[in-house]
Chains A and B, each alone.
Chain A
Amino acid sequence: MNNLVREPILSLDDVSITYPGAPAPAVRGVTLDVAQGETLGLVGESGSGKSSLAAAIIGLLPDGSQIGGTVRFEGRDLAHMPARTLRALRGTEIATIAQDPFTALNPIMRIGRQLDEFQHWRGDLNRAERRARATDMLAQVGLSDPEVRMTQYPHQMSGGILQRIAIAAALLAEPKLLIADEPTTALDATTEAQILGIMADAKARVRGATVFITHDISVVERLCDRVAVLYAGELVESGTVAQVLEAPKHPYTQALLACDPARIGKPTRSLPTIPGTVPAPDNLPQGCVFAPRCPVAIECCETIRPKLESAGPGRRAACHLVNT
């Protein structure tokens, strides 16, 4: 787990994102690396900017959005790459799994044909070989009748099966970077457990790195090596999953973990909350973004914005109380 040795697959440096017409950036100064073979969990609540960050990585921000800083994929800057080159990367070296499997697949095309088309870049294979590859992949994600599934349409299947097909489609690309945006949020509890199991297998087969975007800490716990916690568009803490979940340093991470009813051992009628609301991007506090809601804020938190600094081996946090 020594990331100094390995060249990062994905490297974000001081990334900020401003939506067209927005008065202020939705994401500010995010710096993080994802190393070869690593699975990163990008965690945050609504308004944290996690989805914006994912959209920036795969180049799917709305037209006119401004990306500051650099987003490097194997050394190439994705943020300032010609649209054509980026399109060629998507679906081959970078693959994504979307939140809603019902809209991710074309409703009027058979699964087999869609999986065939996802492999259009494999000029070395003929159609039969590509279909065989797809059928094989469907079996690998645990579908019982892969041949039958190939001839079916999306509406004939449940969300859990469709999400498996979406995972298979992503894996067919043999991506160096797999981005999964809340892949289990739309699913039922038992289906979610099945899909997480398959995701765990799948990420082992990804040649490069996997980024998981989620609001669910238990997903991070099951699948990720490292975690980055976002709050109000800023990266507040990062480190290995074991480190961060066991001994969170940033008060926001601490509060977020405390709020999760699944992590509270003894049943209680008085659940912990985080008082206050997430500040709007154009109405940020002067100092630390979390200071107004922070239970341990001191005077300098109100005025000076903390930098993301080393908080022990392999982990970083943006908090005055951690760094001093």
Chain B
Amino acid sequence: MDPVKPSDFARGEAHLGKSLLIRGELSGSEDLYLDGQVEGTIDLKGNRLTVGPNGKIKANVNARSAVVHGKLEGNITASDRVDLKHSAVVTGDITTQRISIDEGAYFKGGVDIHRDAPKQEVVGAKPEVTPASTPAAAGASVSATGARPAPIAALDPRK
């Protein structure tokens, strides 16, 4: 797995290192970088969650955006966007407005794109065309067309 450079995550966000294990409810009002293990729930409404390459998360996530380099087992609800990097292993359902999945990422689950705002984008990564997998260069974008069904709050249970 490629290491995540310090520049990959924003300054000022909280950082939980790879030796940490948290069980329970994790909530906050600032961006969070997680490289350890979390079992429970993560609620960062309005903020960004980054799961580092060593991160092992077993939790439902609620955030503005989520960037996953490591392993995440649980449902992700992001009001803005979700980025699954090439080393990501994600099992669960994703509900968001935009999603980017790098080539090589593993994903098992459902994707439900909801568009509340009139000009939102759906982004799909195509590294063979745009090797730099930054969100801005993550692939073609298209504008949403027409009215969409209301977002599904809870997707069907798998187990």
Bound pair (A, B): no
Chain A interface residues (CB < 8 Å from chain B): none
